[in-house]
C-alpha cells in the first residue's frame, strides 16, 4: 500500500485531527506516563507543534464497563506537563468547535475519549463511508485540513475515529505509525528461516492468526509456549492433571472453546508447529520439570521445561527472523521466569532480525532486565501488530491507502 506521511507535508498553520495511540495502562487510577505509547505520542506532538501544526488530539481509553474507562483530562494534563505548557481538554458536551476555530499555530487541543460517543462503534458491518456521515465527523471535518493516524495499536478496529474521516479529508500517516510500518515491512526482507514465537494467555487471537502466518508464507516455523502451548497440547489429547482442575475452577471457557480450533491448525500445519516437550511445575514452591509424555501431574504447570527451553533456543539461534508475542510462563515468579528469560536471551544474542510486540511481552523483557534496544524492533501494538505481520489486512491502514 502507498501512504502519505505527515513528515512530508508542510503542516504550518494547518489543523490536523490527530488520532493518538494513548490507550494507556492505569496504575492506582493514574495513567502510566512511562508507557512507550505515551512517550512516543508526546515526542510526535512536540515535533508537529514546533512545526506550527494546530493539533486536535483524540483517542480512546479502554472501553465501557472497565475500571480504566474514563475521560482524557489526565492525558491532556500530562502531555501539557511534558511540553511545559497548558493543553486544554474538552468533553463532548463542551464547546470544542469554538476552541478549535480559535487555535493558533502550534496549539494543541485534546478532545475526549471517543468511546464515550454513541457514534464511535456502530457495528463491524459499518464502512468508512457509513462513519463519515456521523455527527462526530460532521462536527470536526469542516474544521480540519488533514486527518492523521498515529496508532497502529488501534488500526485494526472498525470504529468511527479510525475510519470516519478518511473519505472526507486528506489522510496522513503519523510519525510513530510510519516507524512501525517501515520496521514491520522490513521483516520480509530479512531472510529465512522466519520463526514465530507465541506464548501468553490470549488464545483466540493467536489460534486464529497462526494459519494467516503460514498460508501467506510469512513464517516457516511456529514455536508455542505459555498457556497457549498448553492449549495445543490439550488439542493433541494431553491430560495435565492439576492444571486441568485449575482451569475448571477459573472457568476458562475460551481454553476449551478453542481446543477444536487448535486441532484444525495442527491437522493442517502440524509439521510447522513446535510444542513443548516438557513443562515446569510448581512442586510445593520448587521448580520441577515434567516430560509431556509423563503427564498428568499432581502439580500446576507454570513454565516451559528445560528441554523445551533448549529446543526453542536452538530454533531461535538458527533463524534469520524471529517474531515474538507472549511470555512462556509465569515470569513474575522467580522459579518460573526461566522460559521467558531464555527466549529473551536467545533473541538478543542471535543475529536474527528480532521483533517483539504486545504489552505483556514488553513488560516481561523489561522486568527480566533485557534492554529493548537489543531487539531490532519493539512494536507499540499487540493484536494489530500480529495481524499486520501475519498478512491480515488492518481496516485503519487500508483506509489511509492513497
Measured distance between the N- and C-terminal CA atoms of the chain, rounded to whole angstroms: 8
- The residue-averaged pLDDT of 78-99 equals 96
Distance CA 280, CA 290 (A): 6
- The residue-averaged pLDDT of 245-249 equals 75
- Quote the pLDDT of residue 359: 85
pLDDT at 272 > cutoff 70? yes
- Quote the pLDDT of residue 326: 94
As a whole number, the mean pLDDT across the chain is 94
Residue 275 neighbours by CB under 8 Å, 6+ apart: 224, 229, 232, 233, 236, 292
At 373, is the pLDDT very low, low, confident or very high (cuts 50, 70, 90)? very high
**Three-state SS at 149:** strand
- Quote the pLDDT of residue 302: 96
Residue pair 343/314 in contact (Cβ under 8 Å)? The answer is no
Q: What are phi and psi of 171, to 5 degrees?
A: -110, 140
Distance CA 102, CA 81 (A): 22
Percentage helix, strand, coil, to 5, in the chain?
45, 20, 40
* Residue found under cell 489543523: 15
Residue bearing the bigger pLDDT, 202 or 268: 268
**Three-state SS at 59:** strand
Q: What is the pTM of this model?
A: 0.91
> How many CA atoms within 13 Å lie on the side-chain side of 374?
13
**Can you say whether residue 118 is alpha, beta or left, with left for phi > 0 and alpha for psi between -120 and 50 degrees?**
alpha
* Residue found under cell 483466540: 204
* Domain at 190-390, CATH homologous superfamily: Phosphoglycerate kinase, N-terminal domain (3.40.50.1260)
Q: And the C-alpha cell for 145? A: 485540513
pLDDT at 281 > cutoff 80? yes
- The residue-averaged pLDDT of 342-361 equals 94
- The residue-averaged pLDDT of 268-273 equals 95
pLDDT at 68 > cutoff 90? yes
- The residue-averaged pLDDT of 308-336 equals 96
- Quote the pLDDT of residue 251: 63
pLDDT at 29 > cutoff 80? yes
Strands 321-325 and 377-378: unpaired
Q: What's 226's DSSP letter?
A: H
Distance CA 120, CA 123 (A): 9
- The residue-averaged pLDDT of 315-339 equals 96
- Quote the pLDDT of residue 203: 65
* Residue found under cell 502451548: 229
Is 6-179 in CATH node 3.40.50.300? Answer: no
pLDDT tens digit sequence for 223-239: 999 989 999 999 999 99
pLDDT at 204 > cutoff 90? no
Burial 215-238 (b: 16+ CB within 10 A, else e): eeebbbbbbbbbbbbbbbbbbeeb
- The residue-averaged pLDDT of 191-216 equals 88
Query: What stretch(es) of the chain map to CATH 3.40.50.1260?
Result: 6-179, 190-390
- Quote the pLDDT of residue 102: 97
For 226-271, give the secondary structure using H, E and C. Answer: HHHHHHHHHHCCCCCEHHHHHHHHCCCHHHHHCHHHHHHHHHHHHH
H or E stretch at 197: strand 194-198
Residue pair 230/206 in contact (Cβ under 8 Å)? The answer is no
pLDDT tens digit sequence for 104-129: 999 999 999 999 999 999 998 999 99
Amino acid at each position: 500500500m502507498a501512504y502519505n506521511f505527515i513528515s512530508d507535508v508542510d503542516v504550518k498553520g494547518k489543523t490536523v485531527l490527530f488520532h493518538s495511540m494513548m490507550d494507556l495502562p492505569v496504575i492506582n487510577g493514574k495513567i502510566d506516563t512511562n508507557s512507550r505509547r505515551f512517550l512516543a505520542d508526546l515526542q510526535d506532538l512536540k515535533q508537529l507543534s514546533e512545526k506550527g501544526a494546530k493539533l486536535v488530539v483524540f483517542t480512546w481509553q479502554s472501553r465501557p464497563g472497565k475500571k480504566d474507562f474514563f475521560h482524557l483530562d489526565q492525558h491532556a494534563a500530562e502531555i501539557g506537563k511534558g511540553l511545559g505548557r497548558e493543553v486544554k481538554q474538552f468533553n463532548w458536551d463542551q464547546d470544542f468547535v469554538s476552541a478549535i476555530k480559535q487555535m493558533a499555530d502550534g496549539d494543541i487541543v485534546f478532545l475526549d475519549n471517543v468511546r464515550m460517543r454513541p457514534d464511535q462503534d456502530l457495528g463491524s458491518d459499518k464502512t468508512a463511508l457509513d462513519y463519515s456521515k456521523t455527527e462526530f465527523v460532521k462536527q470536526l471535518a469542516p474544521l480540519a485540513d488533514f486527518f492523521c493516524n498515529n496508532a497502529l495499536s488501534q488500526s485494526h478496529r472498525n470504529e468511527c475515529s479510525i475510519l470516519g474521516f478518511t473519505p472526507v479529508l486528506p489522510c496522513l500517516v503519523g510519525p510513530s505509525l510510519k516507524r512501525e510500518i517501515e520496521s514491520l515491512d522490513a521483516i520480509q526482507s530479512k531472510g529465512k528461516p522466519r520463526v514465530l514465537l507465541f506464548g501468553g494467555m490470549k488464545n483466540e487471537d493467536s489460534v486464529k492468526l497462526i494459519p494467516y502466518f503460514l498460508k501467506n508464507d510469512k513464517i516457516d516455523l511456529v514455536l508455542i509456549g505459555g498457556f497457549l502451548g498448553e492449549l495445543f497440547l490439550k488439542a493433541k489429547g494431553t491430560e495435565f492433571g492439576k492444571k486441568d482442575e485449575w482451569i475448571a475452577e477459573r472457568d476458562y471457557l475460551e481454553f476449551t472453546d478453542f481446543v477444536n480450533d487448535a486441532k484444525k491448525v495442527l491437522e493442517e500445519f502440524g509439521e510447522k508447529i513446535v510444542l513443548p516437550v516438557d513443562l515446569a511445575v510448581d512442586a510445593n514452591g520448587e521448580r520441577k520439570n515434567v516430560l509431556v509424555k509423563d503427564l498428568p501431574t499432581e502439580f500446576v504447570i507454570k513454565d516451559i521445561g528445560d528441554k523445551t527451553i533448549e529446543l526453542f533456543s536452538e530454533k531461535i539461534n538458527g533463524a534469520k527472523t524471529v517474531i515474538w508475542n507472549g511470555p512462556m510462563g509465569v515470569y513474575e515468579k522467580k522459579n518460573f521466569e526461566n522460559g521467558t528469560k531464555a527466549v529473551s536471551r536467545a533473541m538478543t544474542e542471535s543475529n536474527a532480525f528480532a521483533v517483539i510486540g504486545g504489552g505483556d511481552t514488553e513488560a516481561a523483557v523489561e522486568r527480566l532486565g533485557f534492554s529493548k534496544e537489543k531487539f531490532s524492533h519493539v512494536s507499540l501494538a499487540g493484536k494489530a501488530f500480529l495481524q499486520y505481520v501475519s498478512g491480515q489486512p488492518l481496516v485503519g491502514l487500508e483506509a489511509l491507502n492513497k
